[in-house]
Chain A
Amino acid sequence: MIKVFFYLMAFITLASALVVAAGKNLVRSLFMFFVTLFGLAGLYVLALADFVAVTQIVIYVGGILVLILFAFMLSGKEALNKVSVQADGFISLKNAPALLLAGLFLVIMFNVVFKAQADNLPWVQAAISNQNIMPVNGTGINHIGVNLMTRYLLPFEVISILLMLALVGAAHLSRKPKEDEV
């Protein structure tokens, strides 16, 4: 049952991700990205990270994707059409080096995974035999909160400052230039 859910979610995610990366229509790939993010949220739930799944939906779907959508709406329609017309023929000689590079990258990663044998790693086996896996009793969020405020307090604050700086920088970048500046 759970396996069926996993493979269903994995299939949805992969198919929509392919449309995102390779689709010709920008609008379609934008909205397929919604599907990808929701599928990934489902996979997070299956990996016992329900809080991460909710955060994924809130931050990615509610924040980042809406931001991308805004940028898409702000840039004109005719410019987008021009791009999509020029990008004719996904599998062509011009694209061959990039396709080759991505394919070889995938092959190398698969090779590493096969060599590593992740299911037979000593610490994973030990965790399974000791029942030292994360419990599903709702204390996961508790753990996250305590960790975030104790062990990872400094990175947390650094990240928040970085995010603030980035947002101020973004607001500064996208302002209308003054007349005398141009």
Chain B
Amino acid sequence: MESLTRTIQAVPLNHYIFLSAIIFSIGVMGVLLRRNAIVIFMSVELMLNSVNLLLTAFSVYRGDAAGQVFVFFIMALAAAEVAVGLAIIVMIYRNTNSIDINVLNRLKW
């Protein structure tokens, strides 16, 4: 038990933050570069997940579980976002026969 309490201190908080920053940047890169709508969705999920990781890492040092509660809220929001987004993607696929976002330039101007 005593060794478990030191678990979180074995890894410095900075490393969690760096890891989250890198995962977030990978998500940003995926959103900006890829043209497949599904991959863009997964990249957005990556960004949300990196924020979740940061919330849990910080909540340990606060000594209460409030940060983890917010993780659940973010997960619920992600579920809502994915449900609506995938419905839109399926409709787009039905109408244009493609999920390439470059096809969807009619709302551009």
Please determine whether chains A and B interact with each other in the same assembly. Answer: yes
Q: Which 8 A-B pairs have CB atoms at the shortest separation, nearest pair first? A: A21-B30, A166-B80, A98-B32, A143-B65, A102-B29, A173-B87, A170-B87, A106-B25
Contact A113 B65 (CB under 8 A): no
28 pairs of residues in contact across A and B, judged by CB atoms under 8 Å = A6-B10, A17-B27, A20-B39, A21-B27, A64-B82, A67-B82, A67-B83, A79-B93, A79-B98, A80-B99, A87-B36, A90-B33, A109-B25, A113-B14, A113-B18, A127-B63, A128-B9, A132-B61, A133-B8, A133-B9, A136-B7, A144-B69, A147-B69, A159-B76, A166-B80, A166-B84, A173-B91, A174-B86
When the two chains form the complex, which single residue of B13, B49, B87 contacts A118, counting CB atoms closer than 8 Å?
Answer: B13
When the two chains form the complex, which single residue of A70, A76, A95, A160 contacts B33, counting CB atoms closer than 8 Å?
Answer: A95
The interface bits of chain A over 40-71 (1 if a CB of B lies within 8 angstroms of the residue's CB, else 0) are 10011011110110011001100110011011
A to B contact number (C-beta, < 8 Å): 263
A71-B90, A102-B28, A133-B9 known; 14 other A-B pairs, CB under 8 Å? A21-B33, A46-B7, A46-B11, A52-B71, A74-B90, A83-B35, A83-B98, A83-B100, A86-B35, A99-B32, A128-B61, A144-B69, A152-B73, A166-B83
Task: Count how many chain A residues have C-beta atoms less than 8 Å from C-beta atoms of the other chain.
Answer: 93
Contact A159 B1 (CB under 8 A): no
Contact B33 A55 (CB under 8 A): no
Contact B21 A109 (CB under 8 A): yes
Contact A80 B36 (CB under 8 A): yes
The CA-CA distance from A181 to B25 in the complex, in Å, is: 43
The interface bits of chain B over 15-45 (1 if a CB of A lies within 8 angstroms of the residue's CB, else 0) are 1111101111111111011111011011101
When the two chains form the complex, which single residue of A49, A136, A151 contacts B59, counting CB atoms closer than 8 Å?
Answer: A49
- Minimum CB–CB distance for B47 against chain A, Å: 10
When the two chains form the complex, which single residue of B14, B15, B21, B69 contacts A6, counting CB atoms closer than 8 Å?
Answer: B15
Chain A residues touching B, majority SS: helix
Which residues does B use to contact A, with CB under 8 Å?
1, 4-5, 7-19, 21-30, 32-36, 38-39, 41-43, 45-46, 49, 52-53, 56-57, 59-66, 68-69, 71-73, 75-84, 86-91, 93, 97-100, 102
Contact A147 B76 (CB under 8 A): no
Contact B16 A47 (CB under 8 A): yes
Chain B residues within an 8 Å CB radius of A56: 52, 75
A159-177 contacts to B (CB < 8 Å):
159-160, 162-163, 165-167, 169-171, 173-174
Chain B residues within an 8 Å CB radius of A90: 33
When the two chains form the complex, which single residue of B5, B9, B59, B93 contacts A74, counting CB atoms closer than 8 Å?
Answer: B93
